[in-house]
Amino acid sequence: MKIRNWKWWRLFTKIKPLLQVTRQDEELTQKQEEIRRMKAEMDSRTLQVQETEQQLQMVQQERTVVNERLIHLTEALVESDEVCFNNLFD
């Protein structure tokens, strides 16, 4: 007796492709979920990068202000030193 003639074998050969389709559907669903998760993570990281860039710009602006203030204070100190020095020898 050949296996091809058995009823369970015919049933199995009809169902097997359906099982593959179900497995492919499950894999597709998993891949779609992974894509959604990765997009959400990418959006989150993009937002973090933007926030970090904004913070960097603020810190650079503060640094510029502090440097300008330092220059003015240094100039004022030099001027006051010159006045004191001139007063000592006048």
User: How does pLDDT run across 28-81, given as a tens digit for each residue?
Assistant: 999 999 999 999 999 999 999 999 999 999 999 999 999 999 999 999 999 988
The confidence score (pLDDT) of residue 89 equals 72
Q: Is the Cβ–Cβ distance between 9 and 3 less than 8 Å? A: yes
Tokens of residue 42, six digits: 């990418």
Q: Is the Cβ–Cβ distance between 16 and 22 less than 8 Å? A: no
Buried b (16+ CB within 10 A) or exposed e, 35-54: eeeeeeeeeeeeeeeeeeee
Report the predicted TM-score, pTM, of the whole model to 2 decimal places. Answer: 0.58
Enumerate the H helices of the chain as residue ranges: 7-89
Q: What whole-number distance in Å separates Cα of residue 52 and Cα of residue 60?
A: 12
